[in-house]
Amino acid sequence: MEQLKTIGRELAMGSQGGFGQSKEFLELVKSIGEARSKAEEDRIVLHEIETLKRRISEPDIPKRKMKEFIIRLVYIEMLGHDASFGYIHAVKMTHDDTLLLKRTGYLAVTLFLNDDHDLIILIVNTIQKDLKSDNYLIVCAALNAVCRLINDETIPAVLPQVVDLLGHQKEAVRKKAIMALHRFYHKSPSSVSHLFSNFRKRLCDNDPGVMGATLCPLFDLITVDVNSYKDLVVSFVSILKQVAERRLPKGYDYHQMPAPFIQIRLLKILALLGSGDKLASEKMYTVVGDIFKKCDSTSNIGNAVLYECICCVSSIYPNPKLLEAAADVISRFLKSDSHNLKYMGIDALGRLIKISPEIAEQHQLAVIDCLEDPDDTLKRKTFELLYKMTKSSNVEVIVDRMIDYMISINDNHYKTYIASRCVELAEQFAPSNHWFIQTMNKVFEHAGDLVNIKVAHNLMRLIAEGFGEDDDAADSQLRSSAVESYLRIIGEPKLPSVFLQVICWVLGEYGTADGKYSASYITGKLCDVAEAYSNDETVKAYAVTALMKIYAFEIAAGRKVDMLPECQSLVEELSASHSTDLQQRAYELQAVVSLDAHAVESIMPLDASCEDIEIDKNLSFLNSYVQQSLENGAQPYIPESQRSGVLDISNFRSQDQPEASMHGLRFEAYELPKAPVTSRIPPASVAPSTELVPVPEPSYSRETHQVASVPSISDAGSTELRLRLDGVQRKWGKPTYSSPTSSTSNASQSTSNGVTQVDSAANVNSKARNTHDSRKPQAEITPEKQKLAASLFGGPSKTEKRPTSASHKVAKASSHAAEKSPAPKAAVVSNQATLEKINHQPPPDLLDLGEPTVTNSAPSVDPFKQLEGLLDPTQVTSTVNHGAVGATEAPDIMALYVGTPAGGQSSSAENSLPSNSYDVNLTSELSNLTSGATNAGATLPTQFTKGPNPKDALEKDALVRQMGVTPSSQNPNLFSDLLG
């Protein structure tokens, strides 16, 4: 409430215009702040709403009072009440000529309205006028409204003015214009696709604020298409180096960090551009190493920059020195007392494990501490780290810890997530099939029905397939252990339905296979399951099918079958069930029991779950039956499209219509069979292309007053956009940052200095770490922690799967089952969800297009200094001419600012057609189509020469349906039909 009081007083004071505060408004704020309940606050606000409704509609209200009323409306909206009755007055205030009132009106409408509101159309003209104002404060207010209120339909109305403002003399206007274009890109990317080059040019702005604002749209564009912006790597590196060396004004510092948010955005961009690209990454090593060395780790913002450096190092092509510096920073994070820093350290460690798995072993005790931390968020992040570092040597410990944690939480969403991770790790790194089955039992037992049904199918198929080799003894042992474990579990209350289905299936298939358990014992357990879960029809169906299998196996073996009384009562109960599925299963059980041994063995052979089932999709087994029926005089099958028993009205349509064979319902009236039928041409055949191609206006190509012209984006002969930066005469920062060099000296960058600097950074960080460690007392390391750390981090450090003989057999079983036809039996353990392990190879260099590369040993290059030498139009022309004759000189720095025209735009010749040329062509085409349709309609009655004559019936139906239809509606105009 104190904050609301302060905001209310500041809004009511109006000190900029000298109006002073309103006593009524201050009393309103005071009364709301002193309210002791929500009901009392609502009563005060509702009374204020009634007062404003009455006073705001009075005529001749002074501007000072109207401004106060608008502010009070804003205050009402802040408290969650509806002030829509005053929206129109805020819109009117945006039309005022007074600066204070106009800005108040723009502030109010941006808070009141959204981009789909009906009142938006009333302020578009005002925004257009204010964007051209001489007062830059009014222009900024209008640009703020543009960023909040302009929608897809109104973007073209203000786009030319916004583009013109990119060359405004005030840096605040240029920055807000960039923000507006970025907003347009989010709303409608196609509307500004021809303006992407403007973002490249604004990257060279002499104001750091404009440059920083340009990084946001460039980041979005690079995220979508990385390869198109590879040429900007040198520019981004140069900017980041100037920022890190404090070349920006002091006003951009935050907690003594030089422009940290610009650094973070640049590091994100470099991470995208350097991913899998060794040449691009080598240009970044030096500047990233400098940031590791110079960044202050005592403040939150400094740690944020360091964390972003680690993310960048984990994304670009690996460098040993940078990885070492990142490991030192992670060590400081994990040893900190702050949970936030520990969380960042765990997350950063998970990123580096993909590149260097041995880094995790250096911090194993810190990871164990985080795993036992009471902070649930930190614990979950640590489980994510363990998931990434799982291998066959530590999978048992990690999965057991994850299952224990899953049991202790009540969040079903996260419990499902943990269960899926446990299943995935068990399927991928299972040391043995026996351990896999035991682990699945725990997951099913404690996660319940949250487990995916595919996991149950995979488990059943694994048990059916066994080890996948000709090792019957091992397969029998696997199935026996599964039966024993399920007989122990089956007596527990409230087992999940999916788990019970697995239990019933396994007991039915292998309950009596080894002879350890009798058929009566297994059937008694199955009957108990069906009785205990009488409300679950699926479980009962599985239980009845399992009973049928056991009795069938007993009959086939020649043993006498004595059905238990509880089994007989279950069958009688299901025979009268409302479920047809349960009825059928009960009748099948009774029928199987009454058959002899030979018949039962043929119907349900032993271990039939491993047999392949051939599916004949063409039903070729019916060929003999069909042939015999045809010989006996049966009529041959006629496809539906060729049947003439029911006359289809679509046959009366024109032969030019490609959709004449459609069978959907049609709702147009029947026509007389003798009347000529005009053809209905599909919209796709009206013109070769009906796409609307945006044509850039001339104003779009103007950046500043000094720029003479820019080649048209839709030029028919051009394949790329070459920019002219005539307005950029200097860069921000100290002029002594880099020496002027030739325009071709930025093709390569030496990495020797980068390595040296990273070495020094590592030394500094190691010193800081030693100092930090000496201040902090060492935590006691218990033998239990050491043992757990040895279990988690011990064994081979490689992250790729090291399959044992058992796990190899699991994989073979999966591949063997994958080759089989689909069958209604259990599924093999799927290895398709295997975790992607880290040995990633860099993708091929997509930038190697065969162009010559000029290398230079210059240690530092400033691309902005090089741009100054390219401002002469003659140099640009000479560069283009050299490219035309196929010269082999190195491309100049202008290649940094080359964009391709947006796809889908037509050439300038197409855009220069007269406005009525399309209508003339359309008229000629329609006349040809009409004459063709008339000729086609004249031959329609001759199509029906066979079968019953539908003439009389059609005439009657048409007359009945068209009693109230006028000739104009019966034969609509072809123009209205096509264009409407």
Q: Using one digit for the tens of pLDDT, what is the confidence trace for 928-946?
A: 444 444 443 443 333 434 4
Number of H helices and number of E strands within the chain?
A: 44, 4
Q: What is the pLDDT of residue 434?
A: 81
- Distance, C-alpha 669 to centroid of its chain: 47
Contact call for residues 245 and 733 (beta carbons, < 8 A): no
Residue 34 has pLDDT above 70, yes or no: yes
Dist CA 381 CA 387 (whole Å): 10
Question: What average pLDDT does the segment 41-53 reach?
Answer: 93
Q: How far apart are CA 199 and CA 219, in angstroms?
A: 11
Is residue 120 within 8 A of residue 113, CB to CB? The reply is yes
C-alpha Rg value of the chain to the nearest Å: 39
pLDDT above 70 for 473: yes
Q: Is the pLDDT of residue 888 over 50?
A: no
What pLDDT, on a 0 to 100 scale, did the predictor assign at position 290?
Answer: 94
> Alpha carbon of 610 to those of 304, 755, 828: distances in Å?
57, 60, 11
Average pLDDT, the chain: 73
| 923/217 Cα distance (integer angstroms) | 45
CA distance 738 to 769: 34
- Provide the percentage of residues in the chain whose pLDDT is more than 70: 63
Per residue in 369-424, pLDDT (tens digit) is: 888 888 889 999 999 998 988 888 889 999 999 999 999 988 889 989 999 899 88
Residues 539 and 42: their CA atoms lie apart, in Å, by 56
Residue 741: the pLDDT is: 42
Q: Phi/psi of residue 166, each to 5°?
A: -65, -20
Q: Tell me the Ramachandran region of residue 24: left when phi exceeds 0, alpha when psi lies from -120 to 50, beta otherwise.
A: alpha
Q: What is the pLDDT of residue 178?
A: 96
Alpha carbon 442 to its chain centroid, in Å, reads 33
Q: Which of 610, 596, 503 is nearest to 554 (CA)?
A: 596
pLDDT of residue 674: 63
For 538-551, how does the pLDDT look when each residue is reduced to its tens digit (9 = 90+)? 999 999 999 999 99
pLDDT at 710 > cutoff 60: no
What is the sign of the dihedral through the CA atoms of 631, 633, 638 and 642? positive
On whether the pTM is more than 0.75, the answer is no
Cα–Cα distance for residue pair 329/362, rounded to 1 Å: 13
The residues with which 258 forms a beta bridge, in sequence order, are 253
Structure tokens at 958: 């048409």
**Stretch 51-59: mean pLDDT, rounded?**
91
Helices marked H in 776-820 = 783-793, 805-818
Distances (CA, A) of 713 to 183, 189, 696, 725, 906: 22, 16, 8, 16, 10
- Residues 218-236: pLDDT tens digits? 999 999 999 999 999 999 9
Closest CA to 282 of 799, 842, 959, 705: 842
Give the residue with greater pLDDT, 492 vs 789.
Answer: 492
Question: Residue-wise over 503-521: b if at least 16 C-beta within 10 A, else e?
Answer: bbbbbbbbbbeeeebebbe
Buried b (16+ CB within 10 A) or exposed e, 443-460: bbbbbbebbeeebbbbbb
Burial class (CB in 10 A: 0-12, 13-18, 19+), 641: exposed
User: What local confidence, expressed as pLDDT, does residue 726 receive?
Assistant: 52
Residue 740 makes CB contacts below 8 A (sequence gap 6+) with 865, 869
E strands of 810-904, at which residues?
A: 898-899
Helix (H) / strand (E) element for 271: namely helix 260-273
Q: How high is the pLDDT of residue 306?
A: 95
The DSSP H or E segment spanning 721 is strand 721-722
* Secondary structure of residue 662 in the 3-state scheme: coil
Which of 348, 341, 266 is closest to 303 using CA atoms? 341
874 pLDDT higher than 90? no
The pLDDT value recorded for residue 563 is: 85
Distance between CA 239 and CA 241 in Å, rounded? Answer: 5
Beta-ladder partners of 721: 899
Q: How far apart are CA 388 and CA 428, in angstroms?
A: 13
Mean of the pLDDT values across residues 87-114? 93
How do residues 793-832 score in pLDDT, each as one tens digit?
765 444 444 343 344 444 444 444 444 434 333 333 334 4
| Token couple for 719 | 């394949």
Whether the per-residue pLDDT at 783 is higher than 50: the answer is: yes
Long-range interactions of 926-929: CB distance < 8 A, separation 24+: 926/974, 926/975, 926/978, 929/656, 929/679, 929/681, 929/974
The count of C-alpha atoms lying within 13 angstroms of the C-alpha of 436, restricted to the half-sphere facing its C-beta, is: 32
Average pLDDT over residues 440-466: 85
Residue 22 is predicted with a pLDDT of 77
**Which residues are CB-contacts of 507 (< 8 A; sequence separation ≥ 6)?**
483, 486, 487, 490, 522, 525, 526, 546
**Which has more confidence, 914 or 276?**
276
**pLDDT score of 948 more than 90:** no
- pLDDT of residue 285 exceeding 90, the answer is yes
Please say if the pLDDT value at position 504 is more than 50.
yes
Residue 947 has pLDDT above 60, yes or no: no
Averaged over 313-319, what is the pLDDT? 93
pLDDT in tens, 721-779: 444 445 544 455 544 444 444 443 443 444 444 444 434 444 444 444 444 444 444 45
Residue 3 is predicted with a pLDDT of 56
Is 70 exceeded by the pLDDT of residue 683?
A: no
- Write out pLDDT tens, residues 620-646: 888 999 999 999 999 888 887 777 654
DSSP state of 275: B
More confident residue, 421 or 903: 421
Cβ of 565: how many Cβ atoms within 10 Å? Answer: 8
* Tokens coding 565: 């009384």
Question: Does 19 score more than 50 pLDDT?
Answer: no
Give how far Cα 573 sits from Cα of 522, 561, 569, 810, Å.
20, 20, 6, 41
pLDDT grade for 892, boundaries at 50, 70 and 90 = very low
Instruction: Please give the residue that has the higher pLDDT: either 847 or 559.
Output: 559
Strand intervals (E) in 159-283: 253-254, 257-258
With a cut of 80, say whether residue 968 has pLDDT above it.
Answer: no
Q: How many residues does the chain have?
A: 980
Query: In this structure, which amino acid lies at residue 264?
Result: I
When pLDDT is cut at 50, 70 and 90, the band that residue 556 belongs to is confident
| Residue 765: partners with Cβ closer than 8 Å, 6 or more residues away | 292, 293, 325, 328, 329
CA 157, 160, 162, 165 dihedral sign is: negative
Of the candidates 263, 254, 259, which has an alpha carbon nearest to the alpha carbon of residue 284? 263
pLDDT for residue 9: 52
Could you say which DSSP state residue 118 is in?
G
CB 43 within 8 A of CB 72: no
pLDDT confidence bin for 357, thresholds 50/70/90:
confident
The mean per-residue pLDDT over the stretch 455-476 comes to: 78
Going by pLDDT thresholds of 50, 70 and 90, the confidence category of residue 163 is very high
Q: How far apart are CA 176 and CA 150, in angstroms?
A: 14
